[in-house]
Amino acid sequence: MNHQFDELTKGMAQSVTRRAALKKFGVGLAGMALACFGLANKAEAAPQWCDPSVNYCCCRGCKSYLPKQSPNYFSCVSICQGGLGCK
């Protein structure tokens, strides 16, 4: 265990050029930006017009636009699909 720790500390103690340090920092920063914005799971949100206090199930075109996490989601899906012209 001490040998691995010694190797790690030796590697960290080596001098690094400013260019290499900035490059590593930039790559790390870009990775964090991708993780935060590009690769993160998009949470499914109800559309702006979907206000459950007005339109309980947020039905439009035989589909409910409530988020799947909503406690009323499954009952609203069957209500929306049971509308006129929906099969």
Instruction: Answer for the pair 68, 75: CB distance below 8 angstroms, yes or no.
Output: no
Indicate if 47 and 61 belong to the same structural domain: yes
- The domain total for the chain is 2
Residues 6-52: tens digit of each pLDDT: 887 887 777 778 888 888 888 888 877 777 766 555 555 556 667 66
Q: Could you list the residue range(s) of the whole structural domain that residue 29 is in? A: 2-38
Q: What confidence score (pLDDT) does residue 49 get?
A: 65
With contact defined as beta carbons under 8 Å apart, do 63 and 80 qualify?
yes
85 and 54 inside one domain:
yes
Do 48 and 73 belong together in one domain?
yes
* Pair (47, 34) in one structural domain: no
Do residues 33 and 9 share a domain?
Answer: yes
Q: Are residues 12 and 31 in the same domain?
A: yes
- Rounded to whole angstroms, the Cα distance separating 76 from 87 reads 15
Verify that 49 and 32 share a domain, yes or no: no
